[in-house]
Structure 1
Amino acid sequence: MTTEDRDLDPVDDSVDTPDGSRSSSSPDAPAGASAAPARQKRKHLPVWQETILLLGIALVLAVVIKALFVQAFYIPSESMEPGLVKNDRILVQKVSYWFGGEPQRGDVVVFEDPGSWLSDAEQGDPTNGLTSLMAKIGLYPTGGHLVKRVVGVAGDTITCCDEKGRISVNGKPLNEEAYVKREKGIDCRGPMTGNCSWSAGPVPEGQLFVMGDNRGHSADSSAHLCLPEEETDCTKNPYVPVDSVVGKVFVLLWPTDRFDWVGRPDAFANVPDPS
Protein backbone atom coordinates (compact mmCIF):
# COMPACT_ATOMS: atom_id res chain seq x y z
CA MET A 1 0.00 0.00 0.00
CA THR A 2 1.35 3.38 -0.95
CA THR A 3 1.02 6.56 1.01
CA GLU A 4 -1.46 7.85 -1.57
CA ASP A 5 -3.80 4.95 -0.63
CA ARG A 6 -3.87 5.86 3.04
CA ASP A 7 -6.77 7.91 4.55
CA LEU A 8 -5.70 11.47 4.95
CA ASP A 9 -6.36 13.41 8.16
CA PRO A 10 -8.83 16.34 7.69
CA VAL A 11 -7.18 19.66 7.17
CA ASP A 12 -7.70 22.10 10.04
CA ASP A 13 -8.09 25.60 8.58
CA SER A 14 -8.82 27.19 11.90
CA VAL A 15 -6.50 29.83 13.19
CA ASP A 16 -5.54 30.52 16.75
CA THR A 17 -6.64 33.95 17.87
CA PRO A 18 -4.88 36.04 20.51
CA ASP A 19 -7.50 35.21 23.16
CA GLY A 20 -7.04 31.49 22.68
CA SER A 21 -10.20 30.89 20.68
CA ARG A 22 -10.18 29.48 17.22
CA SER A 23 -11.81 30.87 14.15
CA SER A 24 -12.34 29.25 10.82
CA SER A 25 -12.16 30.78 7.44
CA SER A 26 -13.84 29.82 4.24
CA PRO A 27 -11.97 29.91 0.99
CA ASP A 28 -15.08 31.30 -0.69
CA ALA A 29 -15.54 34.24 1.72
CA PRO A 30 -13.67 37.45 1.01
CA ALA A 31 -11.12 38.54 3.50
CA GLY A 32 -12.52 40.44 6.47
CA ALA A 33 -16.13 39.35 5.78
CA SER A 34 -18.35 38.33 8.71
CA ALA A 35 -19.72 34.79 8.85
CA ALA A 36 -23.27 36.10 9.65
CA PRO A 37 -25.11 38.23 7.13
CA ALA A 38 -25.22 41.91 8.02
CA ARG A 39 -28.51 43.08 9.52
CA GLN A 40 -30.44 45.55 7.44
CA LYS A 41 -30.92 48.90 9.07
CA ARG A 42 -34.53 49.79 10.04
CA LYS A 43 -35.95 52.62 8.01
CA HIS A 44 -37.35 55.58 9.95
CA LEU A 45 -40.39 57.57 8.90
CA PRO A 46 -39.81 61.19 7.93
CA VAL A 47 -40.37 63.65 10.77
CA TRP A 48 -43.57 65.03 9.28
CA GLN A 49 -45.06 61.55 8.97
CA GLU A 50 -44.14 60.68 12.56
CA THR A 51 -45.75 63.93 13.73
CA ILE A 52 -49.00 63.17 11.90
CA LEU A 53 -49.02 59.63 13.31
CA LEU A 54 -48.51 60.84 16.88
CA LEU A 55 -51.23 63.48 16.51
CA GLY A 56 -53.60 60.84 15.18
CA ILE A 57 -52.91 58.57 18.16
CA ALA A 58 -53.40 61.49 20.57
CA LEU A 59 -56.75 62.39 19.00
CA VAL A 60 -57.98 58.80 19.17
CA LEU A 61 -56.97 58.57 22.82
CA ALA A 62 -58.69 61.89 23.57
CA VAL A 63 -61.94 60.71 21.99
CA VAL A 64 -61.82 57.39 23.86
CA ILE A 65 -61.08 59.08 27.19
CA LYS A 66 -63.91 61.58 26.65
CA ALA A 67 -66.39 58.87 25.69
CA LEU A 68 -65.57 56.45 28.49
CA PHE A 69 -63.71 58.05 31.37
CA VAL A 70 -63.28 61.81 31.91
CA GLN A 71 -64.64 64.97 30.29
CA ALA A 72 -64.02 68.67 30.93
CA PHE A 73 -66.81 71.22 31.41
CA TYR A 74 -67.19 74.76 32.65
CA ILE A 75 -69.78 76.17 35.06
CA PRO A 76 -72.34 78.18 33.03
CA SER A 77 -73.91 80.22 35.86
CA GLU A 78 -73.74 81.22 39.53
CA SER A 79 -76.19 78.46 40.54
CA MET A 80 -73.54 76.31 42.29
CA GLU A 81 -71.90 79.02 44.39
CA PRO A 82 -70.10 79.15 46.73
CA GLY A 83 -68.34 75.89 45.83
CA LEU A 84 -68.36 76.26 42.04
CA VAL A 85 -68.27 79.71 40.47
CA LYS A 86 -69.34 80.77 36.98
CA ASN A 87 -66.69 79.85 34.35
CA ASP A 88 -64.86 77.45 36.68
CA ARG A 89 -63.34 74.48 34.81
CA ILE A 90 -64.30 71.10 36.20
CA LEU A 91 -63.60 67.45 35.42
CA VAL A 92 -66.39 64.88 35.28
CA GLN A 93 -65.75 61.16 35.70
CA LYS A 94 -68.08 58.55 34.21
CA VAL A 95 -66.77 55.35 35.79
CA SER A 96 -69.00 55.61 38.89
CA TYR A 97 -72.10 55.15 36.76
CA TRP A 98 -70.89 52.13 34.80
CA PHE A 99 -72.45 48.67 35.03
CA GLY A 100 -75.77 49.82 36.44
CA GLY A 101 -74.40 52.43 38.85
CA GLU A 102 -76.58 55.53 39.20
CA PRO A 103 -76.21 58.99 40.76
CA GLN A 104 -76.61 59.08 44.53
CA ARG A 105 -77.98 61.76 46.84
CA GLY A 106 -75.37 64.47 47.30
CA ASP A 107 -73.49 63.86 44.03
CA VAL A 108 -72.73 66.94 41.94
CA VAL A 109 -73.59 65.89 38.40
CA VAL A 110 -73.43 67.28 34.87
CA PHE A 111 -76.44 66.52 32.71
CA GLU A 112 -77.98 67.48 29.40
CA ASP A 113 -80.71 70.11 29.40
CA PRO A 114 -83.95 68.19 30.14
CA GLY A 115 -86.01 70.83 28.35
CA SER A 116 -85.44 74.61 28.17
CA TRP A 117 -83.70 74.86 31.52
CA LEU A 118 -80.76 76.72 29.99
CA SER A 119 -80.97 80.30 28.79
CA ASP A 120 -79.38 81.32 25.49
CA ALA A 121 -76.49 82.91 27.38
CA GLU A 122 -75.85 79.69 29.28
CA GLN A 123 -75.66 77.54 26.15
CA GLY A 124 -72.22 79.07 25.63
CA ASP A 125 -70.49 76.54 23.38
CA PRO A 126 -67.15 77.68 21.88
CA THR A 127 -67.60 79.81 18.78
CA ASN A 128 -63.99 79.72 17.61
CA GLY A 129 -63.41 77.00 15.02
CA LEU A 130 -60.36 75.54 16.74
CA THR A 131 -61.90 75.49 20.22
CA SER A 132 -65.10 73.98 18.82
CA LEU A 133 -63.09 71.13 17.30
CA MET A 134 -61.14 70.66 20.53
CA ALA A 135 -64.39 70.60 22.51
CA LYS A 136 -65.84 67.87 20.30
CA ILE A 137 -62.87 65.60 20.87
CA GLY A 138 -62.67 66.34 24.60
CA LEU A 139 -59.65 68.64 24.70
CA TYR A 140 -61.59 71.80 25.62
CA PRO A 141 -64.29 72.38 28.29
CA THR A 142 -67.79 72.33 26.80
CA GLY A 143 -71.01 74.14 27.70
CA GLY A 144 -74.63 73.42 26.89
CA HIS A 145 -75.03 71.33 30.05
CA LEU A 146 -76.20 71.95 33.60
CA VAL A 147 -74.41 71.29 36.89
CA LYS A 148 -76.53 70.58 39.98
CA ARG A 149 -76.54 68.53 43.16
CA VAL A 150 -78.69 65.41 43.38
CA VAL A 151 -81.14 65.86 46.27
CA GLY A 152 -83.62 63.07 45.54
CA VAL A 153 -83.48 59.74 43.72
CA ALA A 154 -86.25 57.35 42.66
CA GLY A 155 -88.94 57.02 45.35
CA ASP A 156 -87.75 59.99 47.45
CA THR A 157 -90.02 62.74 48.71
CA ILE A 158 -88.48 66.20 49.16
CA THR A 159 -90.11 68.77 51.42
CA CYS A 160 -89.41 72.45 52.02
CA CYS A 161 -88.96 73.40 54.72
CA ASP A 162 -88.82 72.78 58.48
CA GLU A 163 -88.81 75.50 61.17
CA LYS A 164 -85.06 75.95 60.65
CA GLY A 165 -85.46 76.43 56.91
CA ARG A 166 -84.00 73.03 56.02
CA ILE A 167 -84.90 70.77 53.11
CA SER A 168 -86.07 67.31 54.19
CA VAL A 169 -85.67 64.08 52.21
CA ASN A 170 -87.96 61.23 53.25
CA GLY A 171 -88.63 63.14 56.48
CA LYS A 172 -84.94 63.67 57.32
CA PRO A 173 -83.84 67.34 57.51
CA LEU A 174 -80.53 68.06 55.78
CA ASN A 175 -77.75 70.05 57.44
CA GLU A 176 -76.43 71.88 54.37
CA GLU A 177 -74.45 74.64 56.07
CA ALA A 178 -71.20 73.35 54.57
CA TYR A 179 -72.10 73.94 50.93
CA VAL A 180 -75.38 75.90 50.48
CA LYS A 181 -75.05 79.64 50.04
CA ARG A 182 -76.93 81.75 52.57
CA GLU A 183 -78.45 84.94 51.23
CA LYS A 184 -80.35 87.77 52.84
CA GLY A 185 -84.04 87.74 52.00
CA ILE A 186 -84.11 83.95 51.55
CA ASP A 187 -85.70 82.46 54.66
CA CYS A 188 -85.12 78.84 53.70
CA ARG A 189 -83.02 76.65 51.45
CA GLY A 190 -85.86 76.37 48.96
CA PRO A 191 -86.33 77.41 45.33
CA MET A 192 -85.31 80.62 43.64
CA THR A 193 -88.95 81.76 43.79
CA GLY A 194 -88.52 82.18 47.55
CA ASN A 195 -91.39 79.82 48.30
CA CYS A 196 -90.63 77.93 51.51
CA SER A 197 -93.63 75.61 51.48
CA TRP A 198 -93.65 72.91 48.84
CA SER A 199 -93.26 69.19 48.37
CA ALA A 200 -92.00 67.09 45.46
CA GLY A 201 -92.17 63.38 44.79
CA PRO A 202 -92.15 60.56 45.07
CA VAL A 203 -89.47 60.91 42.42
CA PRO A 204 -90.38 58.67 39.44
CA GLU A 205 -88.24 55.67 38.54
CA GLY A 206 -85.28 56.61 36.36
CA GLN A 207 -85.48 60.30 37.39
CA LEU A 208 -83.62 62.66 39.73
CA PHE A 209 -84.55 65.74 41.74
CA VAL A 210 -81.67 68.22 41.55
CA MET A 211 -80.93 71.59 43.12
CA GLY A 212 -78.20 74.19 42.90
CA ASP A 213 -76.20 75.14 45.98
CA ASN A 214 -77.08 78.80 45.39
CA ARG A 215 -80.75 78.17 46.10
CA GLY A 216 -81.81 81.76 45.51
CA HIS A 217 -80.37 81.79 41.98
CA SER A 218 -80.79 78.29 40.59
CA ALA A 219 -83.35 77.32 37.95
CA ASP A 220 -83.38 73.73 39.18
CA SER A 221 -86.00 71.05 39.88
CA SER A 222 -87.60 73.14 42.64
CA ALA A 223 -88.01 76.08 40.27
CA HIS A 224 -89.82 73.88 37.73
CA LEU A 225 -92.37 72.50 40.17
CA CYS A 226 -96.04 73.12 39.48
CA LEU A 227 -97.12 75.02 42.57
CA PRO A 228 -100.86 75.72 42.79
CA GLU A 229 -100.47 79.15 44.33
CA GLU A 230 -98.01 80.38 41.70
CA GLU A 231 -98.15 80.91 37.97
CA THR A 232 -95.87 78.22 36.65
CA ASP A 233 -95.50 76.38 33.39
CA CYS A 234 -96.85 73.00 34.39
CA THR A 235 -95.74 71.41 31.14
CA LYS A 236 -92.18 71.51 32.48
CA ASN A 237 -90.89 68.35 34.08
CA PRO A 238 -89.10 69.13 37.38
CA TYR A 239 -87.14 65.88 37.18
CA VAL A 240 -83.96 64.97 35.31
CA PRO A 241 -83.70 61.61 33.51
CA VAL A 242 -80.85 59.47 34.79
CA ASP A 243 -79.99 58.70 31.17
CA SER A 244 -79.20 62.37 30.54
CA VAL A 245 -76.48 62.46 33.21
CA VAL A 246 -73.00 62.69 31.71
CA GLY A 247 -71.10 61.96 34.91
CA LYS A 248 -70.08 63.06 38.40
CA VAL A 249 -67.97 66.14 39.11
CA PHE A 250 -64.83 65.14 41.01
CA VAL A 251 -62.32 67.97 40.46
CA LEU A 252 -62.43 71.75 40.38
CA LEU A 253 -59.51 72.13 38.00
CA TRP A 254 -59.22 75.83 37.28
CA PRO A 255 -58.53 78.50 38.50
CA THR A 256 -55.53 76.76 39.99
CA ASP A 257 -55.66 78.78 43.22
CA ARG A 258 -59.02 77.16 43.99
CA PHE A 259 -58.15 73.63 42.86
CA ASP A 260 -60.17 71.20 44.95
CA TRP A 261 -61.69 67.72 45.01
CA VAL A 262 -65.47 67.60 44.80
CA GLY A 263 -67.13 64.86 46.81
CA ARG A 264 -70.42 63.81 48.40
CA PRO A 265 -71.19 65.71 51.63
CA ASP A 266 -72.09 64.00 54.89
CA ALA A 267 -75.50 65.70 54.96
CA PHE A 268 -77.04 62.83 52.97
CA ALA A 269 -75.43 59.97 54.91
CA ASN A 270 -78.40 59.31 57.19
CA VAL A 271 -81.27 59.88 54.78
CA PRO A 272 -83.62 56.87 55.09
CA ASP A 273 -84.79 54.89 52.12
CA PRO A 274 -88.24 55.81 50.82
CA SER A 275 -91.03 53.96 52.58
Structure 2
Amino acid sequence: MDQTKRQPRKTGWRFALLVLLLAVAVSGLVRSLWLDVYFIPSGSMEPAFERGDRILVSRTDFNADPIRRGDIVVFDGRGSFAPLNSGRGPVLDALGETGQWLGLAGSDTTYVKRVIGLPGDTVVCCDADGKITVNGKALDEPYLFKGDEPSTQTFSAVVPAGRLWLLGDHRSESADSRSLLGAPGGGMVPLERVIGRPVRIIWPLDRFAEIPRPAAAGLMTEDVQ
Protein backbone atom coordinates (compact mmCIF):
# COMPACT_ATOMS: atom_id res chain seq x y z
CA MET A 1 0.00 0.00 0.00
CA ASP A 2 2.79 2.42 0.93
CA GLN A 3 4.72 1.60 -2.27
CA THR A 4 1.64 2.37 -4.36
CA LYS A 5 1.30 5.80 -2.76
CA ARG A 6 4.97 6.64 -3.28
CA GLN A 7 5.14 5.64 -6.93
CA PRO A 8 3.28 8.68 -8.41
CA ARG A 9 5.50 11.00 -6.36
CA LYS A 10 8.66 9.42 -7.81
CA THR A 11 7.23 9.61 -11.31
CA GLY A 12 6.37 13.28 -10.77
CA TRP A 13 9.94 14.14 -9.76
CA ARG A 14 11.33 12.30 -12.77
CA PHE A 15 8.96 14.14 -15.10
CA ALA A 16 9.89 17.50 -13.58
CA LEU A 17 13.60 16.69 -13.95
CA LEU A 18 13.07 15.65 -17.57
CA VAL A 19 11.21 18.89 -18.34
CA LEU A 20 13.98 20.91 -16.68
CA LEU A 21 16.72 19.15 -18.65
CA LEU A 22 14.76 19.60 -21.88
CA ALA A 23 14.27 23.32 -21.16
CA VAL A 24 18.00 23.75 -20.51
CA ALA A 25 18.86 21.89 -23.73
CA VAL A 26 16.45 24.00 -25.81
CA SER A 27 17.72 27.20 -24.18
CA GLY A 28 21.31 26.20 -24.91
CA LEU A 29 20.46 25.49 -28.56
CA VAL A 30 18.67 28.83 -28.99
CA ARG A 31 21.50 30.74 -27.33
CA SER A 32 24.18 29.04 -29.40
CA LEU A 33 22.42 29.59 -32.74
CA TRP A 34 20.10 32.62 -32.55
CA LEU A 35 19.91 34.69 -29.38
CA ASP A 36 21.92 35.15 -26.22
CA VAL A 37 21.87 37.30 -23.08
CA TYR A 38 24.85 39.35 -21.92
CA PHE A 39 25.54 41.32 -18.77
CA ILE A 40 27.01 44.85 -18.99
CA PRO A 41 29.78 44.99 -16.34
CA SER A 42 30.97 48.58 -16.74
CA GLY A 43 30.01 52.09 -17.81
CA SER A 44 32.15 52.09 -20.97
CA MET A 45 29.08 52.14 -23.26
CA GLU A 46 27.02 54.75 -21.43
CA PRO A 47 24.53 56.18 -22.15
CA ALA A 48 23.48 53.36 -24.52
CA PHE A 49 24.09 50.73 -21.82
CA GLU A 50 24.41 51.24 -18.09
CA ARG A 51 26.34 49.09 -15.64
CA GLY A 52 24.16 46.09 -14.72
CA ASP A 53 22.02 46.09 -17.90
CA ARG A 54 21.17 42.73 -19.47
CA ILE A 55 21.03 42.83 -23.25
CA LEU A 56 19.55 40.42 -25.77
CA VAL A 57 22.04 39.72 -28.57
CA SER A 58 21.10 38.44 -32.02
CA ARG A 59 23.67 36.07 -33.50
CA THR A 60 22.05 36.22 -36.95
CA ASP A 61 21.44 39.94 -37.66
CA PHE A 62 24.71 40.38 -39.55
CA ASN A 63 24.10 37.33 -41.74
CA ALA A 64 21.52 39.17 -43.84
CA ASP A 65 22.65 42.76 -43.20
CA PRO A 66 26.44 43.32 -42.93
CA ILE A 67 28.16 45.29 -40.18
CA ARG A 68 28.02 49.08 -40.58
CA ARG A 69 29.90 51.97 -39.07
CA GLY A 70 28.03 52.96 -35.93
CA ASP A 71 26.82 49.44 -35.17
CA ILE A 72 27.20 48.18 -31.61
CA VAL A 73 28.70 44.70 -31.55
CA VAL A 74 29.32 42.02 -28.95
CA PHE A 75 32.54 40.15 -29.66
CA ASP A 76 35.02 37.62 -28.38
CA GLY A 77 38.09 39.64 -27.43
CA ARG A 78 40.58 36.78 -27.31
CA GLY A 79 43.64 37.78 -29.31
CA SER A 80 42.68 41.46 -29.36
CA PHE A 81 40.93 42.82 -26.23
CA ALA A 82 41.25 39.96 -23.73
CA PRO A 83 44.14 41.51 -21.74
CA LEU A 84 41.83 44.35 -20.68
CA ASN A 85 39.98 44.20 -17.34
CA SER A 86 36.26 43.44 -17.77
CA GLY A 87 35.42 45.37 -14.57
CA ARG A 88 33.06 42.75 -13.15
CA GLY A 89 34.16 43.03 -9.53
CA PRO A 90 34.78 40.28 -6.94
CA VAL A 91 31.15 39.27 -6.36
CA LEU A 92 30.40 38.71 -10.04
CA ASP A 93 33.81 37.08 -10.55
CA ALA A 94 32.79 34.47 -7.98
CA LEU A 95 29.74 33.54 -10.07
CA GLY A 96 32.03 32.34 -12.84
CA GLU A 97 30.70 30.71 -16.00
CA THR A 98 27.30 29.95 -14.44
CA GLY A 99 26.72 33.64 -13.83
CA GLN A 100 27.81 34.45 -17.39
CA TRP A 101 25.41 31.87 -18.85
CA LEU A 102 22.53 33.25 -16.77
CA GLY A 103 23.35 36.82 -17.79
CA LEU A 104 24.27 37.74 -14.20
CA ALA A 105 27.97 38.32 -14.73
CA GLY A 106 30.35 39.68 -17.32
CA SER A 107 33.03 37.70 -19.12
CA ASP A 108 36.79 38.17 -19.21
CA THR A 109 36.78 37.63 -22.97
CA THR A 110 33.46 39.09 -24.18
CA TYR A 111 33.10 42.81 -24.88
CA VAL A 112 30.60 45.29 -26.30
CA LYS A 113 31.76 48.34 -28.29
CA ARG A 114 30.75 50.51 -31.24
CA VAL A 115 32.17 50.07 -34.76
CA ILE A 116 34.04 53.19 -35.86
CA GLY A 117 36.33 51.82 -38.56
CA LEU A 118 35.60 49.15 -41.18
CA PRO A 119 38.24 47.16 -43.08
CA GLY A 120 40.34 49.54 -45.21
CA ASP A 121 39.32 52.67 -43.26
CA THR A 122 41.81 55.21 -41.94
CA VAL A 123 40.73 56.39 -38.49
CA VAL A 124 42.37 59.53 -37.08
CA CYS A 125 42.04 61.64 -33.95
CA CYS A 126 41.46 64.38 -34.20
CA ASP A 127 40.72 67.18 -36.66
CA ALA A 128 40.82 70.93 -35.93
CA ASP A 129 37.34 70.70 -34.40
CA GLY A 130 38.33 67.85 -32.09
CA LYS A 131 36.37 65.21 -34.02
CA ILE A 132 37.48 61.73 -35.07
CA THR A 133 37.75 61.37 -38.84
CA VAL A 134 37.25 58.29 -40.99
CA ASN A 135 38.84 58.52 -44.42
CA GLY A 136 39.15 62.27 -43.93
CA LYS A 137 35.46 62.81 -43.01
CA ALA A 138 34.58 64.01 -39.52
CA LEU A 139 32.22 61.78 -37.54
CA ASP A 140 29.08 63.19 -35.97
CA GLU A 141 28.72 61.13 -32.77
CA PRO A 142 25.43 61.90 -30.98
CA TYR A 143 25.79 58.70 -28.94
CA LEU A 144 28.79 59.99 -26.94
CA PHE A 145 28.50 60.27 -23.16
CA LYS A 146 27.56 63.84 -22.22
CA GLY A 147 30.65 65.92 -21.55
CA ASP A 148 33.08 63.45 -23.14
CA GLU A 149 35.40 64.43 -25.98
CA PRO A 150 35.62 62.05 -28.97
CA SER A 151 39.10 61.18 -27.68
CA THR A 152 41.81 62.76 -25.57
CA GLN A 153 44.32 60.34 -27.09
CA THR A 154 45.65 61.13 -30.55
CA PHE A 155 46.02 58.29 -33.01
CA SER A 156 46.09 57.35 -36.66
CA ALA A 157 45.24 53.79 -37.67
CA VAL A 158 44.58 51.96 -40.91
CA VAL A 159 42.14 49.10 -40.36
CA PRO A 160 43.41 45.89 -42.03
CA ALA A 161 41.22 43.61 -44.13
CA GLY A 162 38.94 41.45 -42.03
CA ARG A 163 39.15 43.62 -38.90
CA LEU A 164 37.23 46.37 -37.08
CA TRP A 165 38.23 49.48 -35.11
CA LEU A 166 36.02 49.73 -32.02
CA LEU A 167 35.42 52.41 -29.37
CA GLY A 168 33.19 52.76 -26.32
CA ASP A 169 30.60 55.54 -26.16
CA HIS A 170 31.82 56.70 -22.74
CA ARG A 171 35.26 57.51 -24.10
CA SER A 172 36.78 58.69 -20.81
CA GLU A 173 35.83 55.34 -19.19
CA SER A 174 36.41 52.98 -22.11
CA ALA A 175 39.39 50.74 -22.77
CA ASP A 176 39.10 50.02 -26.50
CA SER A 177 41.06 49.96 -29.76
CA ARG A 178 42.93 53.12 -28.68
CA SER A 179 44.28 51.31 -25.62
CA LEU A 180 45.92 48.53 -27.60
CA LEU A 181 47.57 50.34 -30.51
CA GLY A 182 50.99 48.95 -29.60
CA ALA A 183 49.78 45.45 -28.75
CA PRO A 184 49.66 42.45 -31.13
CA GLY A 185 46.71 43.02 -33.45
CA GLY A 186 46.63 46.72 -32.56
CA GLY A 187 43.29 46.41 -30.77
CA MET A 188 41.54 45.68 -34.06
CA VAL A 189 39.01 42.88 -33.79
CA PRO A 190 38.73 40.12 -36.44
CA LEU A 191 35.31 39.98 -38.07
CA GLU A 192 35.00 36.27 -37.23
CA ARG A 193 35.19 37.17 -33.53
CA VAL A 194 31.94 39.17 -33.69
CA ILE A 195 29.25 37.26 -31.80
CA GLY A 196 26.29 39.41 -32.72
CA ARG A 197 24.36 42.65 -32.37
CA PRO A 198 22.51 43.83 -29.23
CA VAL A 199 18.86 44.14 -30.20
CA ARG A 200 17.13 44.94 -26.89
CA ILE A 201 17.78 45.85 -23.28
CA ILE A 202 15.76 43.30 -21.28
CA TRP A 203 16.73 44.25 -17.71
CA PRO A 204 16.08 46.29 -15.67
CA LEU A 205 12.48 46.58 -16.75
CA ASP A 206 12.44 50.38 -16.59
CA ARG A 207 15.08 50.37 -19.34
CA PHE A 208 13.39 47.71 -21.50
CA ALA A 209 13.87 49.05 -25.03
CA GLU A 210 14.85 48.19 -28.58
CA ILE A 211 18.38 49.09 -29.68
CA PRO A 212 18.26 50.79 -33.13
CA ARG A 213 20.91 50.35 -35.80
CA PRO A 214 22.79 53.39 -37.18
CA ALA A 215 20.47 53.81 -40.18
CA ALA A 216 17.69 54.68 -37.73
CA ALA A 217 20.01 57.02 -35.86
CA GLY A 218 21.18 58.87 -38.97
CA LEU A 219 24.83 57.81 -38.71
CA MET A 220 27.30 56.82 -41.44
CA THR A 221 26.06 53.45 -42.66
CA GLU A 222 28.50 52.04 -45.22
CA ASP A 223 28.52 48.25 -45.01
CA VAL A 224 31.60 46.26 -44.07
CA GLN A 225 33.82 45.65 -47.08
Q: Distance in 1 between matches of 2:98 and 2:44?
A: 28
TM-score scaled by length of structure 2: 0.80
1:154 paired with 2:119, answer: yes
1:189 paired with 2:150, answer: yes
1:245 paired with 2:194, answer: yes
Q: Taking structure 1 as reference, are residues 271 and 175 closer, same or farther at Cα in structure 2, changes over 3 Å only?
A: farther
Give the gaps of 5 or more residues in structure 2: 1-7
**What secondary structure, in the 3-state scheme, does the structure 1 residue paired with 2:94 have?**
coil
Q: Taking structure 1 as reference, are residues 139 and 223 closer, same or farther at Cα in structure 2, changes over 3 Å only?
A: closer
Identity of aligned residues (%): 34
Q: For 1:7-156, what aligned pairs fall within 5 Å after superposition? A: 46-98=11-63, 102-113=66-77, 114-119=80-85, 121-122=87-88, 127-128=94-95, 132-133=97-98, 135=100, 138-144=101-107, 145-156=110-121
Q: Taking structure 1 as reference, are residues 118 and 270 closer, same or farther at Cα in structure 2, changes over 3 Å only?
A: closer
Query: Which structure shows the bigger proportion of residues in helix conformation?
Result: 2
CA deviation digits over 1:140-176, x for unaligned, max 9? Answer: 3442121100111111111222233222222222211
How many angstroms does 1:234 deviate by?
4.4
**What secondary structure, in the 3-state scheme, does the structure 1 residue paired with 2:57 have?**
strand
Of the three residues 181, 196, 200, the one matched with 2:157 is 200
User: 2:58 touches 2:196 (CA, 8 Å); kept in 1?
Assistant: yes
Q: Taking structure 1 as reference, are residues 252 and 50 closer, same or farther at Cα in structure 2, changes over 3 Å only?
A: same
The structure with the largest alpha-carbon Rg is: 1
Q: Which has the higher contact order (CA 8 A, sep 6+)?
A: 2
Q: Distance in 2 between matches of 1:115 and 1:95?
A: 23
Q: Taking structure 1 as reference, are residues 270 and 64 closer, same or farther at Cα in structure 2, changes over 3 Å only?
A: closer
How many angstroms does 1:49 deviate by?
2.4
Q: Distance in 2 between matches of 1:157 and 1:236?
A: 16
**What secondary structure, in the 3-state scheme, does the structure 2 residue paired with 1:64 have?**
helix
Instruction: Output the amino acid matched with 2:155.
Output: W
